């Protein structure tokens, strides 16, 4: 493929993405898979959903707007909104066949009343707080669980919880959360035995022995979190100017980089406005022509600079900010908190899907 003329862009390897999906299919065997595609598919672009929805059992998003956007790419598959949905959204939930997370009795009662007013039956998953202490019904509040499951205008397709720590990080609490979730499930099973999706395991906890009949995979689909998966995104930026800098000159805002010997400084058309972390000022690196080039000076909103001495770089070339090139690689986790780095890639970074 010829390089596009964009100032900055990302290639997204669809085959590798599906390969990661298949890895979890094999690892989890008889489990259903909810592919978590929130935050514009973790920064990879909404269109990635188009290539995956036929390979999984359901999709997970964070907001109503995300669910609506993905529905145009993904017909006829359950889509669960994992986060908060504002009151007054029952028409949209019904129109786009989206499932809502129900996390408290008062919230559920309000949704139920609104749905009943307009003759709507809402689809939902019951959220259990087993120790994350973020959202959810207390696992041991039997009366609340009985009450919510008796609401007539909400059809519960699933029940779920969320681990606060992996089994490796906190093995005892991991087991305790599983026990608590099972306790809540047993209360609910006596009242409501039609849960299609029972899920608590995420990327790090997902395997054939995971509790429940379903796993939620997010970070792992994009190639992170486990050694067996491969990152699918390569992010590049265009070189827009190359100039010589003499010893003693400074580069960028605040004069934080002092040229120690004559150097070739290349300016790239990318910055923190595109999602490249400003924290990488004077300590990051990019890949060009089989070598790492250090980031020098402060990362600007729309531009950044690298020391390109001895690289043969010229205006119009592209460097790799994230991903692999010439047997070298830079992972999202080298640029900061991996989730944040991926989700922070701006919509103005064009995505090209390589199939």
Active site residues: 38, 253
Strand partners, 320: 236, 287
- Euclidean distance between CA atoms 294 and 245, whole angstroms: 15
């Amino acid at each position: 493929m010829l390089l596009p003329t964009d100032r900055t862009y990302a290639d997204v390897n669809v085959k590798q993405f599906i390969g990661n999906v298949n890895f979890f299919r094999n690892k989890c065997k008889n489990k259903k898979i909810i592919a978590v595609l929130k935050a514009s598919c973790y920064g990879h672009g909404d269109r990635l959903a188009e290539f995956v929805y036929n390979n999984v059992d359901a999709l997970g998003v964070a907001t109503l707007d995300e669910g609506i956007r993905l529905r145009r790419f993904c017909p006829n598959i359950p889509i669960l909104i994992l986060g908060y949905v504002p009151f007054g959204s029952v028409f949209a939930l019904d129109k786009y066949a989206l499932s809502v997370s129900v996390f408290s009795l008062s919230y559920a009662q309000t949704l139920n009343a609104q749905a009943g007013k307009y003759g709507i039956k809402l689809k939902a998953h019951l959220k259990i707080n087993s120790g994350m202490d973020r959202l959810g019904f207390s696992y041991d509040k039997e009366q609340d669980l009985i009450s919510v499951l008796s609401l007539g205008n909400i059809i519960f397709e699933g029940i779920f919880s969320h681990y606060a720590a992996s089994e490796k990080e906190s093995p005892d609490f991991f087991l305790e959360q599983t026990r608590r979730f099972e306790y809540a499930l047993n209360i609910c099973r006596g009242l409501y035995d039609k849960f299609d999706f029972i899920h608590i395991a995420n990327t790090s906890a997902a395997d054939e022995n995971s509790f429940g009949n379903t796993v939620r995979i997010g970070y792992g689909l994009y190639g992170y979190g486990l050694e067996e998966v491969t990152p699918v995104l390569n992010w590049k930026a265009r070189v827009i100017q190359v100039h010589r800098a003499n010893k003693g000159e400074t580069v960028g805002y605040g004069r934080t980089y002092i040229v120690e010997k004559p150097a070739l400084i290349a300016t790239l058309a990318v910055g923190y406005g595109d999602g490249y972390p400003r924290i990488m000022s004077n300590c990051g690196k990019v890949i060009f022509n089989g070598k790492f080039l250090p980031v020098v000076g402060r990362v600007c909103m729309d531009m950044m600079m690298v020391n390109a001495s001895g690289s043969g770089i010229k205006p119009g070339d592209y460097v790799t900010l994230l991903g692999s090139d010439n047997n070298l690689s830079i992972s999202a986790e080298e640029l900061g908190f991996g989730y944040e780095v991926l989700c922070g890639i701006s919509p103005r970074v064009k995505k090209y899907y390589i199939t």
